[in-house]
Structure 1
Amino acid sequence: MKVIIAEKPDYAKTITEALRTNGEKFTRCDGYFESSNYYATWQFGHLFELYTIEEYENREDKKWDESILPYIPRPFKFRLKKDPGVRKQFQIIRNLINDNKVNEIIEAGDADEEGDLLIKLVVSDIFRRDKLNKKRSRLWSTDQTTTTILESLHNLKDVDTYKSYSNSAYTRTCMDFLLGINLTRKFTLMNSRITGSRDIFSIGRCNTCIVDFIYQRDMEIAKFKPEKYVQLESAEETNGEIIKLVDEEKYSIENIEECKLIAQKLNSNKAVVKDIQSKEIKKLPPKLFSLTELQGTLSRRYKIGMEESLDIIQKLYESGYVTYPRTNSEYLSTEEIPKIKRVIKAHSNENIHLQLKETKRIFNNEAIESHSALIVTDKVPDISKFNKNEKIIYETIRNRFISNFLVDETIMNQTVITIGIANKEYKLKGEVIVKKGFFEFEPLPKSKETNRLPNLNKGDFINIDFRPIEKQTSPPKKLTVETLVKLLKNPLNKEYEDESLKIEDMKKGISIGTDATRTGLIKNIKKYGYVTDNKGVLSITNKGIYLIEKINITEYVEIAGYHYQEIE
């Protein structure tokens, strides 16, 4: 007899449904399912939590005491949550593990760091209390389809196979206590003593760094002083079409008279089409989604917030329609090729022709830390039963998968028209779609919709009338949810010409937060009143300004932001 412990009730039910296809007959009991070979039970996520400072000190008084800060537990201790439902479920799990018929415990947390830790804490505690020594295995399933679950059950791993994952989650939890609990209490009490305010100032390993990003951008905007400059432009009609030419040279506003003289010289010459070069190119689709890229896309295109999008993506995952969502990779593993063949078959029809493409742009084992890109599975839903945003999110994931495996190529005709005026050249560039290919499934960029060139031939003369146009520099743009999550993923703001360098930095952990935690981090900084979110546009509040200006953010980032690399 084996006990399967799932992270959540829905996953336990999904596992039993998969086993039923293999002939298992389950009965629903109080807190678990039972068959002749399995008990399938569940947790409600984390059943254990760290002690509070007061519990370490055996104090009934919950009032914060500044005199004992910084508080460093030795050792860190976890305890069962006090919620009656949690305690009841823990006892059910304990009784099942202690059943004399049981000879193996299968830990079926989500395939990530927290999923590995939260069940290990429960099982290890029961083993310690009851002095047990039974076999422990790990079910590691990248999606919740019947096929993948059965394959994972057939290929169970030793419970310590992913020990580095639970160790990482454990260390991060302890770091969050050391930094978050201590600094939150210290800053809040200090502020209360100075101002009399009872406001809580939550300070965290990552969230304070995120607040600082938004603060710095808003301060740049507030301090920005526009500078005027002049550029020469011509926008004259030739053969019924307005042809706009812009001189790249920028002149200071004080030199406008010099600019006018240059315009006169240009206008005294004829403008002729010197060359027209056209070529057809194959356009590649955007890469498969990581969670960060997907949430950024949903925010930009549809104004769907990170919390709502993650809830829906998680629901789609638990229903077996998409793969594990909390991934930072945009690539698939070559080991998944048999599964991808099934997905391709499931999503092909008379109008959509897909084929396997074993290119490194899609299959790249070196670019995967733990989980592959977020894609659809071979379980195809009835989308008529989805609400509006569920449909949008599922189709966004599905269409990205289709775009990458589509038989039809995307062909663009690129044209460059070179116009000569005296010794200067001006280039007009445009693209026209020859074969839509993946643009049947991905939105056409706005630049492609309007980037049509005038009808000109080599040797044609065009009308020009250059004039100095007064312009001014623009302030930095406000951070949006999409630009923020990209910044968190690449806080050094590097431009990568070589994809392998980007992958190398990803593996080093050079980022703020992870794809699994960023939604919660941004939710918290809004909850504590540090920033506001207006349709995806983020702004610092007075409370956020106060926090950042009162702490040494440079020193804090050195302590908090880069210590996480040591965990890995």
Structure 2
Amino acid sequence: RPPRLYDLTGLQKDMSRMYGMTAARTLAALQHLYELKLATYPRTDSRYITHDDLETLTALLESGRLAQGFVTREGIPGHPRPELAVNDAKVAGHTAILPTMQLDAGKLEGLDDDERKVMTRIVRRMWEAVGDDHVHIVTEVKARLSDDTDREFSSRSDETVSAGWKAVETGHGPEPEDEETANPAGGRNVIPSNLMEGGVIRPVGKVTVEEGETRPPKPFTEATLLAAMEHASRCVEDKNLKAALDDDESHSGGIGTPATRADTIEKLVRSKLVERKGRQLHATTEGERLTDVVEPRLKDVLLTARMEQALSDVEHGKRGPSEVMDMFHREALRIPADATANLKADAVTRTANTDAQDWG
């Protein structure tokens, strides 16, 4: 199926994956495009439009101005389906990010490189979201050696039948190959179509079996960290707390909001708790020391989930605002005492504090 339109986080993830742009750079470029009236409101967490916006989207698609210079002829759907982008129930405030009627290929010339890339990606996502389905055949083969019934070997191939919406993005193509379908010798694995279930495969050369170890998770990139923040509820087992963290009707799901996640990452970098190495994000020594002294409950996403649940209770009249504010106040007051209790002599270097402040 085609992807949904962009919210801010989705756009930031793709710009990081495709161009190595930080979330802050993407937001800055999008903000200027909004001020130029070339793109709609940037700080949105919706990936749909309402029925009231359907006429505008249809006009954008039918005008043809947002095809030339943005999308190749092969990438334009023969029968675009703007209705796929409509879901009134999923739009709580601002709608998904779209180009405006003032944009055309000529306007791109006056933009800087970041703005041009962001604007082009927004237009292409618009075409992708209303495009044809991507049709492909995924084949998986499982086999066992004739004298070994315990260990199973598998291979997988993925062949495109019809590119559909994936034909829109010509510069970078579809998502990167996963390691299961990639062929180390180059190209992709293709499983023969005449391979039948229950068949016997005769070796055509010397066969060897090598044992290996699974690789540790790769360091975060900006795109994968944004995704982890957005879907933080995956780390929560309690169904009620998971639902409170996922609830996007009255707040953005996950940790932070589309408007604050980029700034959170930048603050960590500016504070030298995280450093960029190419496209990857790595904790610095200072960052590792900080996680050593922080009370475990403050590092657990459950804390955010409980706070969101408390706010939801206020919204639905189950708890009073003063009660919840008092609870948050007590949580804040515990932080210095918890940090002192967890302090390890080898984790931090004590320095004289000449600018102490009372936060009580």
For the aligned pair, the TM-score class normalised by the smaller chain equals 0.5 to 0.7
Please show how residues 325-404 of structure 1 align to structure 2 within 5 Å: 325-346=42-63, 347=66, 351=73, 352=76, 353=78, 355-359=80-84, 362-381=85-104, 382=106, 383-404=108-129
Aligned amino acid, residue 563 of structure 1: M
Out of 476, 488, 496, which is 2:229 matched to? 488
Instruction: Please report how far the alpha carbon of residue 367 of structure 1 lies from its aligned counterpart in structure 2 after TM superposition.
Output: 2.2
Superposition pairs for residues 399-548 of structure 1, below 5 Å?
Answer: 399-406=124-131, 408-416=132-140, 422=146, 428-442=155-169, 443-447=173-177, 450-455=187-192, 457-458=194-195, 461-463=201-203, 465-493=206-234, 505-507=247-249, 509=251, 510-548=253-291
Partners of 2:211 and 2:304 lie apart in 1 by 46
Report the 3-state secondary structure (helix = DSSP H, G, I; strand = E; otherwise coil) of the residue aligned with 1:358.
helix
Contact kept? 2:12, 2:26, Cα under 8 Å: yes
Give the partner amino acid of 1:480.
Answer: T
Counterpart residue identity of residue 93, structure 2: S
Distance 1:338 1:418 in 2: 50
Q: Is the 8 A contact 2:272 2:286 kept in 1?
A: yes
* Max Rg structure: 1
Q: Which amino acid aligns with 2:166?
A: F
| Counterpart AA for 1:386 | L
Task: Give 1:339 deviation, angstroms.
Answer: 1.7
Gaps of 5+ in 1: 1-283, 496-500
Distance 1:376 1:466, change over 3 A: same
| 1:368 maps to amino acid | V
User: What is the deviation of 1:321?
Assistant: 1.7
Secondary structure of the 1:472 match is coil
Q: Any conservation in 2 of the 1:285–1:438 contact (CA below 8 Å)?
A: yes
Write the deviation string for residues 344-400 of structure 1: whole angstroms up to 9, x where unpaired: 1233569334533424xx322222222222222222232233333222211111111
Query: What is the CA deviation profile of residues 262-284 of structure 1, one whole-angstrom value per residue up to 9, with x for unaligned ones?
Result: xxxxxxxxxxxxxxxxxxxxxx2
C-alpha distance in structure 1 between counterparts of 2:289 and 2:159, whole Å: 51
Q: 1:554 to 1:308 in 2, by over 3 A?
A: same
Q: Deviations over 1:394-433 (max 9, x none)?
A: 1111111101223x55332444556675486755432222
CA contact (8 A) 1:348 1:354 kept: no
Give the CA deviation at 1:295. 0.6
Report the TM-score, using the length of structure 1 for normalisation. 0.44
Amino acid at match of 1:445: E
Aligned-residue CA RMSD (Å): 3.3
Question: Kindly tell me: are residues 556 and 310 of structure 1, through their superposed partners in 2, closer, same or farther at Cα, counting changes over 3 Å?
Answer: same
Tell me: CA distance 1:365–1:420, structure 2 relative to 1, closer, same or farther (3 Å): same
Distance 1:440 1:478 in 2: 30
Structure 2: unaligned runs, 5 residues or longer? 237-242, 316-360
> Which of 301, 306, 316 is the matching residue for 2:33?
316
Change (3 A) 1:462 1:372: farther
Q: Secondary structure at the match of 2:44?
A: coil
CA contact (8 A) 1:344 1:356 kept: no
Measured at CA, do residues 463 and 305 of structure 1 come closer, stay the same or move farther in structure 2, by a change above 3 Å? Answer: same
Taking the TM superposition and a 5 Å limit, the aligned residue runs for 1:94-493 are: 284-346=1-63, 347=66, 351=73, 352=76, 353=78, 355-359=80-84, 362-381=85-104, 382=106, 383-406=108-131, 408-416=132-140, 422=146, 428-442=155-169, 443-447=173-177, 450-455=187-192, 457-458=194-195, 461-463=201-203, 465-493=206-234
1:563 maps to which residue? 307
User: How far did residue 527 of structure 1 move?
Assistant: 1.6
- Secondary structure at 2:97 match in 1: coil
Shift of 1:554: 0.9
Distance change >3 Å, CA 529–CA 398, structure 1 → 2: same
* Equivalence map 1:2-17=2 (5 Å): none
Q: What's the offset of the Cα at 1:294? A: 1.0
1:504, distance to aligned residue in structure 2 (A): 5.5
Letter in 2 for 1:490: H
Q: Secondary structure of the equivalent of 2:211?
A: strand
- CA 1:472 to 1:413, structure 2 compared with 1: closer, same or farther past 3 Å? closer
Listed one character per residue, the Cα deviations across residues 125-166 of structure 1 (whole Å, up to 9, x for unaligned) are xxxxxxxxxxxxxxxxxxxxxxxxxxxxxxxxxxxxxxxxxx
> Does the CA-based 8 Å contact 1:413-1:432 persist in structure 2?
yes
Which residue in 2 is equivalent to 1:176? none
**Deviations 1:48-78 (CA, angstroms, capped at 9, x unpaired):** xxxxxxxxxxxxxxxxxxxxxxxxxxxxxxx
- Deviations along 1:531-561, one digit per CA (max 9) or x if unpaired, are 1122332222232233332232415767667
Pick the structure with more strand per residue.
Answer: 1
Q: Which amino acid aligns with 1:471?
A: G
Residues 139-198 of structure 1, C-alpha deviations (whole Å, 9 max, x = no match)? xxxxxxxxxxxxxxxxxxxxxxxxxxxxxxxxxxxxxxxxxxxxxxxxxxxxxxxxxxxx
For 1:440 and 1:482, locate their aligned partners in 2 and report how far apart those are by CA, in whole Å: 22
Q: How many residues align?
A: 278
Give the direction of change, closer, same or farther, for the CA distance of 1:354–1:387 in structure 2 (3 Å limit): farther
Match of 2:318 in 1: none
**Cα distance in 2, alignment partners of residues 403 and 421 from structure 1:** 44
Change in Cα spacing, 1:462 to 1:444, as seen in structure 2 (3 Å) is: farther
Check 1:290–1:503 CA distance in 2 against 1; reply closer, same or farther (3 A cut). farther
